[in-house]
Structure 1
Amino acid sequence: MNLAQCVETNALKYGDSKAALISDDTGESWSYADLNQQINRIANGLLSLSIAPGARVAVMLRSRPELIFCSFAVFKIGCIYVSINSRLKEKEIKHILINSGAEILICDSSVVSLIKEIKNDCKELKHIVAYGDIQEKGFIKFSKLIAGKSDNFTVDPDISEIAAIMYTGGTTGAPKGVVLTHAGIIGNSLAGSKRLLFDENTIIVIAMPMFHIGGLAAGSFYCFLNGATIVQQEFFNAEKYVEAFKKYHATVIYGVPTFYYSFNSLPESRTKDFSTARLGFSGAGVFATPVRKAFENRFGLKVYQYYGLTENSPGVTVEDPLVPERNYESVGTALPGVEIKIVDDSNNELPPGEHGELCVRGPYLMKEYWKNPEATKEAMRGGWLHTGDQGTIDEKGYFYIMGRKHDMILVGGANVYPAEVEGLILEADKRIQQIAVIGITDERLGEVPKAYVVMKEGFKSTEKEIIDLARANMAPYKTPRRVEFLDSLPMTSIGKIDKKALRSR
């Protein structure tokens, strides 16, 4: 079983009659036949470097079609794809290259000077392939790698169990390499895409970073397994996104919650821009109910919550569009094959309605953390992945995410969940564009909540006004004691609010 088989199959089925991938940035498009041939040329180019199945090939490219081509070429030859965020710094890149033991690195020419500084420390790195205009000694130009290479290559479906090593953000230390299998990714992508009604008529606009499993899965894996079409944008811009949606008659919106904040801020004249859409879905962060309802009311389109983890390839729960009942606070029910339980700090399973840590088990789970048996053992206690996410389940099997375990604020012994506080304040004050709540040290209570607030354009407020509003809508111990107003909230490279940056202010 190999991920690249789906492209081969669709190349035979559709040939040049159907677009697989469109770059909205350049206007270029590739049919399934074109896509398969491009992947084959890269696969043959990599094999010319005497690479063997099971070797690690690191890819550090921006979110452009070349990243998709290269990832599937690596899958096809039975090597292990190592994804590197193109925004990382020298120390972070060096850690991933050394830890993974990558033998080949494919990177953009813009980072060549940085790679030159660290390549001698990466003892297993044999070849560096640079995409773009490059004349540096010791680097292989991407165009030369594939020049004259055959566009024929038939994948061996049993060639490799491991598909990829995806590095986590490293919030608790150095990034850990999550080892994912072909079977796990394929199974999870089929379960998630079918829940979200993907088929051969689906056209999705993707402006998510493709180095991340969320962008890669909901983009290329979901689409290519279903014969669908990706419209790719390197960066997100709300105006540009809706223009692409209209131009290509797209059917599915995918983004993080901040995308929908931006859509809600568009002029009223744009309310028809998603007229061809069947649905939208959102992942990589808790989706505040007021924001989601505002989007649905304005654009007449339902948006569903998706919850996933890199360690589960990645989907865990997704709301079901075929269920008419809406539950805005929930991230949906478990995908087929996924088992979930909620446990306390002593690892005892909790009944419905009780808050605790969400644990996951099933066929899509990672194989291990690469070269990190201690972290693997800690995360996979009792055969269950302990996610570090706080949540609860109700009697109907709907799951609710309260935030990361380390985000929870302990106020005088009482648990405060930032996502809950954020949602209540957003619901109460429609002038607020965005809000993030963190814990700060308090001499008497240990910790208390602090809110960072971004107001909508043309509106102002005061710290007292926000605190008084919070007190009127939640228990006193949950109320933020401090409020700071910002022009914008810091974001991570995948569009999540960067609470680590807020804590370091």
Structure 2
Amino acid sequence: MSFTELNSEIDHAARALLARGIRKGDVVGLWVTNRIEFTIALYAILRIGAIAAPMNTRYREHDVAYALKLAECKLLFVVERSGPVGYVEILKAVLPRFDGKRFERVDAFPHLTDIVVMSDNSDWGSLSWDRFLADAERVSPAALEKAVADVRIDDIALIVFTSGTTGNPKGVMHDHTLLRSICERHDHWPLKEGSVVLNFLPMFHLFGMSEMVFGCMHTGARQVVMDAWDAEEAIQLIESERVTGLFGFETHYADILRVQAQSKADLSSLRFGGLPAGMENSNAVAKQVQAELCPTVSGWGMSEAGCYVCVSTLNDTEEQRCTTSGRPLSGLGLKIVEPGSGKEQPPGVEGEILWHGYTTMRGYFRDPEATAATIRDGWLCTGDRGFLRPDGFLQFLGRYKEMLKVGGENVSPAALETELLALVPAIEQVAVVGVPHPRLAEVPCAYIVLKPGTTCTIEDVKTRCKGKIASFKIPHYLVTVDALPMTASGKVQRVLLRDRAKQDLGVDV
């Protein structure tokens, strides 16, 4: 599809949204895997001033129900199926008056009025993507122009779902100014019209959305889209499509290197990659990628601060690109402060990373208390550890918060603990900690106290969680204990559990 054709399709979908009653400020959910309809729907939502709320396609019943309620979605785009996962079937279990063909509003989701099913099978009646697009004929191009003219740069454009250490996911709000940082960093990189970029990152994720869905539109690069990650397919596409650029986490690059060692494919077309490096578990992979694939740039960001707001460029040294998280873009800034006192730290001294600038979120949706606790005097308190080097580059060290990072996905221990208590009847108490994993960086380990007279295995937990919560949240390890280590104030001593995991599981934490 050409850019001209894509622009026409976006206008068509924007008129269809207006026909379905979507107006400026309405929230539209996107529970859709990587496909062209995601891009069309996303841009159509933004074009009329509505708010896009992309949802993790690894969400299951509990997750998607919470997200729909939290964001107050008025319309939901959902993909019928991707591989073995039937999203419509999951949604039927969440919405009692949705049978896959018809939808009636329910009290539990008072804002949701419409569902559109994206499918390779057109037999979805009034809920189908084709029927949705047909409704565009009821809205004139002039009416669309009027709606577009009413959109302002400081209007809320996105609600990005994240998880906090308090347990429940939050909706991070960004306005249209987020595009400025995306365009500026891409102007520092060699991708341009004629470049070919392999898109395997999930489009719902801020990383994939920023660098692919938005970034490639700015540069004019052609996207080769993968529905799901598969290293062998990725290598085949790099060779056959003569891919010149790609973005991914260290796990993706490690997979490519592993498969390429056997396949010996021609990957000589690669010229550029984005790889958020800087921590010890990614440095070795980053260095190997420079030698065997292509030069890469690093970066740092988070949902609340914007993606890749600290970056490196190909003009920086290999050491800076492989072992740091880059420098802030123009107009953006950070400082390192001592936790507790807030005293600013000099270069080389670690502390909490505080962020400031136009990419900072507008706040958490419908959560002013959490917003006030996170943004103080204009500075975003990230909960991340790091220090500034004398050369101005950020060295990211990890998180003060207890959030787990499973293959690039955030997992809240508190939220997972609540879900395990609800899903596994045998569990009396539970505490989740992260343990190292050679491919995913870290994975959940659940320490449990059983109810009297019950038993529970890791297979029991996996069986009860499958299809209910996102797969990346399901614990990899289960350890039964008589009691959880607690502080005098009644809080679980997670540090002790992480240390104990070294002995219990035989892993180096």
Q: Normalised by the size of structure 2, how large is the TM-score?
A: 0.73
Report what 2:373 is aligned to. Answer: 378
Displacement after TM superposition at 1:178 (Å): 0.6
Identity %: 25
Report what 1:55 is aligned to. Answer: 26
Report what 1:492 is aligned to. Answer: none
Residue 190 of structure 2 contacts residue 272 of structure 2 at CA under 8 Å; is this kept in 1? no
Q: Deviations over 1:353-393 (max 9, x none)?
A: 11111111001111111000011001101211111111111
Aligned-partner residue type, residue 210 of structure 1 = M
Aligned-partner residue type, residue 129 of structure 1 = V
Query: Relative to structure 1, is the Cα distance of residues 140 and 445 closer, same or farther in structure 2, using a 3 angstrom cutoff?
Result: closer
Structure 1 unaligned regions, length at least 5: 1-29, 410-424, 427-431, 453-479, 487-501
Query: Relative to structure 1, is the Cα distance of residues 397 and 370 closer, same or farther in structure 2, using a 3 angstrom cutoff?
Result: same
Task: Please say which of residues 37-46 and 189-198 is displaced more in the overlay.
Answer: 189-198
Report what 1:458 is aligned to. Answer: none
- Matches of 1:268 and 1:112 in 2, distance apart? 39
How many correspondences in the alignment?
408
- Matches of 2:41 and 2:193 in 1, distance apart? 23
Query: Relative to structure 1, is the Cα distance of residues 385 and 273 closer, same or farther in structure 2, using a 3 angstrom cutoff?
Result: farther
Report what 1:387 is aligned to. Answer: 382
Displacement after TM superposition at 1:449 (Å): 5.6
Query: Relative to structure 1, is the Cα distance of residues 53 and 315 closer, same or farther in structure 2, using a 3 angstrom cutoff?
Result: same
Displacement after TM superposition at 1:296 (Å): 2.2
Alignment equivalent of 1:92, drawn from 47, 53, 63: 63
Report what 2:334 is aligned to. Answer: 340
Task: Please say which of residues 280-289 and 235-244 is displaced more in the overlay.
Answer: 280-289
Match runs of 1:423-462 below 5 Å:
436=442, 447=496
Displacement after TM superposition at 1:65 (Å): 1.4
- Matches of 1:269 and 1:204 in 2, distance apart? 23
Report what 2:291 is aligned to. Answer: 297
Query: Relative to structure 1, is the Cα distance of residues 157 and 402 closer, same or farther in structure 2, using a 3 angstrom cutoff?
Result: farther
- Matches of 1:108 and 1:164 in 2, distance apart? 20
Report what 1:235 is aligned to. Answer: 228
Answer yes or no: is 1:484 the counterpart of 2:506. Answer: yes
Answer yes or no: is 1:162 the counterpart of 2:156. Answer: yes
Report what 1:204 is aligned to. Answer: 197
Task: Please say which of residues 334-343 and 307-316 is displaced more in the overlay.
Answer: 307-316
Query: Relative to structure 1, is the Cα distance of residues 136 and 246 closer, same or farther in structure 2, using a 3 angstrom cutoff?
Result: closer
Q: Normalised by the size of structure 1, how large is the TM-score?
A: 0.73
Q: SS at the partner of 1:107?
A: strand
Displacement after TM superposition at 1:111 (Å): 2.4
Structure 2 unaligned regions, length at least 5: 81-85, 96-105, 405-435, 448-483, 487-492
- Matches of 1:223 and 1:445 in 2, distance apart? 42
Displacement after TM superposition at 1:77 (Å): 1.3
Answer yes or no: is 1:64 the counterpart of 2:56. Answer: no
Answer yes or no: is 1:402 the counterpart of 2:397. Answer: yes
Alignment equivalent of 1:265, drawn from 254, 258, 264: 258
Report what 1:140 is aligned to. Answer: 127
Displacement after TM superposition at 1:169 (Å): 3.1
Report what 1:477 is aligned to. Answer: none
Answer yes or no: is 1:83 the counterpart of 2:54. Answer: yes
Q: SS at the partner of 2:217?
A: helix
Answer yes or no: is 1:282 the counterpart of 2:282. Answer: no
Aligned-partner residue type, residue 181 of structure 1 = D
Report what 1:115 is aligned to. Answer: 91
Residue 438 of structure 1 contacts residue 451 of structure 1 at CA under 8 Å; is this kept in 2? no
- Matches of 2:111 and 2:59 in 1, distance apart? 20
Q: SS at the partner of 1:176?
A: strand
Q: SS at the partner of 2:323?
A: coil
Displacement after TM superposition at 1:61 (Å): 0.8
Answer yes or no: is 1:173 the counterpart of 2:167. Answer: yes
- Matches of 1:433 and 1:149 in 2, distance apart? 46
Residue 115 of structure 2 contacts residue 127 of structure 2 at CA under 8 Å; is this kept in 1? yes
Residue 257 of structure 1 contacts residue 285 of structure 1 at CA under 8 Å; is this kept in 2? no
Q: SS at the partner of 2:76?
A: strand
- Matches of 2:347 and 2:395 in 1, distance apart? 11
